[in-house]
């Protein structure tokens, strides 16, 4: 069924200019008339936010994870405040019903369905224009802020055109060879941009870019230069482990300051590692990544309050892992009058990722109390034994693998001294929180479920209701002044 764009004079949610999340949550509930009321006027700034892998179960889980248990109310989150619709995510027919990040990001960036693994091309491998490229042609500043490497599937789908997402070096090279398309790049990627065969960082510098490789540099960016910021070898550390637990928020704040201009800007922001946590079946890491993403969106509320000619659109490319809140049924907690439980209190205080904790257990001799302190909840003697056995088995597996001839070492992810410890820690956390995952594979799969769409600011109402992921790109193209896109 076909629909046409409604009139572009719509209302927005106005939020306080206060920088605190509490003020933002209170004032954001108040609706006022859109300041940008000129007939046919378009947003000056567009911010596209993608929670990679962030299906509906993740935003629900985050609501309960961030809930204040000392109140009778379940507090709403920033996602609850701005839910406007939903989106289908399926790829081109040749790839079936379940998308990968590349095909979905290409749909969100171009309005065109493609096959899984494709970046910025259609099923015929023909390049298709992205909303970021079009915005640049209109004189707007452009940028990408991600917690993966900046040549990963999602940012690459906005910046590049390649037949396979895993051609990481080719994609990185194209950021120079095919013309520089952004004024700002923040994320990871040293291994792809500083290589033996080519140093792309130096090439960006020669093109006039300012380069930074630590978060401290975000506060001292020259106003007259475009900027490349790479902060890790590939993806950034887990939010739980990083020197800055709100890495995405910090990068986004710096990006907005840098990109502000009379012509406006288009900015892609991705919470990349929600998906990575889903693949790893790691609910603790997932909630920390969701918290960073939520705080980023809360900051965007305050930004839109000050810049009402800005549009923010938030969605996911797909859902990952078949996350289930409440795996086992039974009266396992006598304090709770229900046989249906999900217990996020066990992970609310964690300040290290399960991966970091497993590495520490692998390298040190720790008592049951010391491991409990690392996890921030008490483990049982049986769980302590489980971890010690996993430690021994991990070391044996790593040793046996390393003894194999190089030609026989074919595993994509070779065993490491902490591998089985990590698996056991996640099993313990899942049992205590009552979390389930819907995949039996070692790397939990994507799901074909529809994802949520959130939006606020100038012209945000056009994203209301059900739509396909390609429609999101088509609507953004229209808001960028490109009239040839047909909106479903």
Alpha-carbon dihedral 449, 450, 454, 458, rounded to 10 degrees: 150
Per DSSP bridges, beta strands 310-315 and 451-457 are: antiparallel
Give me 207's structure tokens: 């093109």
Q: How do beta strands 45-51 and 310-315 pair?
A: parallel
CA proximity to 352, closest of 257, 270, 466, 245? 245
**Closest listed residue to residue 345, CA positions, set 58, 110, 61:** 61
Distance CA 423, CA 427 (A): 6
Round to whole Å and give the CA distance between 393 and 386: 11
Other C-beta atoms closer than 10 Å to the C-beta of 207 total 11
CB within 8 Å of 407: residues ≥ 6 apart: none
Q: Are 89 and 104 in contact (CB under 8 A)?
A: yes
Q: Whose CA is closest to 347, among 399, 296, 290?
A: 290
Closest CA to 109 of 41, 169, 161, 172: 161
User: What amino acid positions are annotated as catalytic residues?
Assistant: 101
Residues 274, 293: Cα–Cα separation, whole Å? 9
Burial 342-357 (b: 16+ CB within 10 A, else e): bbbebbeebebbbbbb
Q: Is 392 exposed, middle or buried (0-12, 13-18, 19+ CB in 10 A)?
A: exposed
């Amino acid at each position: 069924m076909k629909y046409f764009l409604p009139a572009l004079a719509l209302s927005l949610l106005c939020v306080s200019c206060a920088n605190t999340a509490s003020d933002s949550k209170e004032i954001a509930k108040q609706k006022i008339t859109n300041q940008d009321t000129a007939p046919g006027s378009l947003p000056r700034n567009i911010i596209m936010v993608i929670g990679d892998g962030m299906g509906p179960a993740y935003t629900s889980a985050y609501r309960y994870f961030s809930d204040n248990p000392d109140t009778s109310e379940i507090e709403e989150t920033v996602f609850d405040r701005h839910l406007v619709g939903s989106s289908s995510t399926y790829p081109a027919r040749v790839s079936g019903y379940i998308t990968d990040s590349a095909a979905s990001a290409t749909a969100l960036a171009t309005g065109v369905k493609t096959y899984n693994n494709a970046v910025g091309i259609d099923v015929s491998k023909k390049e298709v224009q992205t909303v970021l490229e079009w915005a640049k042609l209109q004189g707007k500043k452009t940028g990408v802020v991600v917690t993966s490497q900046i040549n990963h599937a999602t940012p690459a789908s906005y910046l590049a055109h390649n037949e396979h997402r895993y051609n990481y070096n080719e994609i990185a090279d194209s950021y120079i060879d095919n013309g520089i398309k952004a004024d700002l790049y923040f994320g990871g990627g040293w291994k792809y941009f500083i290589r033996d065969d080519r140093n792309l960082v130096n090439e960006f510098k020669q093109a006039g870019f300012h380069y930074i490789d630590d978060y401290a540099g975000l506060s001292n960016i020259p106003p007259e230069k475009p900027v490349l910021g790479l902060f890790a070898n590939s993806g950034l550390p887990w939010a739980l482990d990083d020197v800055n637990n709100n890495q995405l928020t910090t990068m986004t704040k710096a990006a907005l300051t840098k990109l502000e201009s009379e012509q406006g800007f288009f900015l892609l922001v991705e919470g990349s590692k929600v998906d990575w946590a889903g693949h790893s079946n790691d609910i603790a890491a997932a909630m920390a990544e969701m918290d960073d993403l939520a705080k980023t969106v809360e900051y965007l509320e305050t930004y839109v309050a000050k810049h009402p000619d800005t549009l923010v659109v938030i969605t996911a490319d797909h859902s990952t892992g078949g996350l289930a809140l409440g795996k086992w049924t039974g009266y396992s907690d006598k304090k709770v009058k229900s046989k249906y439980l999900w217990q996020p209190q066990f992970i609310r205080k964690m300040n290290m990722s399960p991966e970091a904790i497993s590495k520490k257990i692998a390298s040190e001799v720790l008592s049951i109390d010391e491991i409990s302190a690392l996890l921030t909840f008490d483990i049982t003697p049986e769980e302590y034994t489980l971890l010690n056995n996993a430690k021994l088995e991990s070391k044996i597996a790593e040793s046996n693998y390393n003894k194999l001839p190089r030609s026989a070492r074919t595993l994509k992810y070779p065993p490491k001294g902490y591998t089985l410890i990590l698996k056991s820690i996640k099993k313990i956390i899942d049992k205590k929180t009552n979390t389930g995952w819907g995949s039996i594979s070692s790397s939990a799969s994507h799901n074909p479920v529809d994802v949520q769409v959130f939006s606020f600011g100038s012209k945000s109402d056009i994203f209301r209701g059900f739509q396909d992921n390609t429609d999101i790109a088509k609507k953004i193209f229209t808001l960028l002044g490109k009239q040839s896109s047909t909106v479903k």
